[in-house]
Structure 1
Amino acid sequence: MARLGAFGTGPIASARTFDLAQRLDVPGGPQAIPTPGHTGGSAAYHFPELDALFTGDALVTQDAFTGEVGPRIVCRAFTEDSAAALDSLRTLAATGAGTVLLGHGDPATGGISAAVDSARRAGIS
């Protein structure tokens, strides 16, 4: 993966910051939710009117590195702070979202609360 550039990133031409207390001024008006753990700057995006939550790598249903399936955090070898990643699940659960779309794997069925409960049971791998 490294030889193919998986760990390299290009420079960012410009960046904008935003207030997490406000909805983003983009189509759908999502609320950005900080989810530190996998990386320090991880964020999820909640679309309340659509009852949808995009978790990114804060919650996955297939760990691309271990092959484990089911709601979980990414394995500790590829997570900056696994304890913080587990703690971020609380913030995701607070959205109450019914549709959960993840960074890796199939959408979580049963809503965010059920997915978070399963991830907590799976723990740190």
Structure 2
Amino acid sequence: MELLLILIIGLLHAGGLYMLLRRSMFKMIIGLILLGNGVNLLIFLLGRLTKGHPPVIDGNAKIFSEIYADPLPQALILTAIVIGFGLQSFAIILIKRVYQVLGTDDLDELNSTDEEI
């Protein structure tokens, strides 16, 4: 299971970096989404996968007898998903506005200073 997640994380990072290096701003956003999902899976994997054990520990227990799920990585991932969604929605609206004004989403054409807006 963990080896499969490692391969998926590697593919998401490789695909995200490849899409970030493209000239289109739309493909750049897709790359950011892929990288964000890869990082979320990486944090989830580093938090140790445990199946079937909730992160709730009995109040009367003096020592931890069973392996339990760590709630901190889950909270970090939830926060990262919310922040990533806000960033992605802002970037999509920004790209839509740039495309409406300039008529292109090619980064090489947007980088030139030959024409005034």
Same structural fold, with TM-score higher than 0.5 when normalized by the shorter chain? no
Q: Which has the higher contact order (CA 8 A, sep 6+)?
A: 2
Q: With structure 2 as the length reference, what TM-score do the two structures score?
A: 0.29
More strand by share: 1
Q: With structure 1 as the length reference, what TM-score do the two structures score?
A: 0.27
Higher-Rg structure is: 2
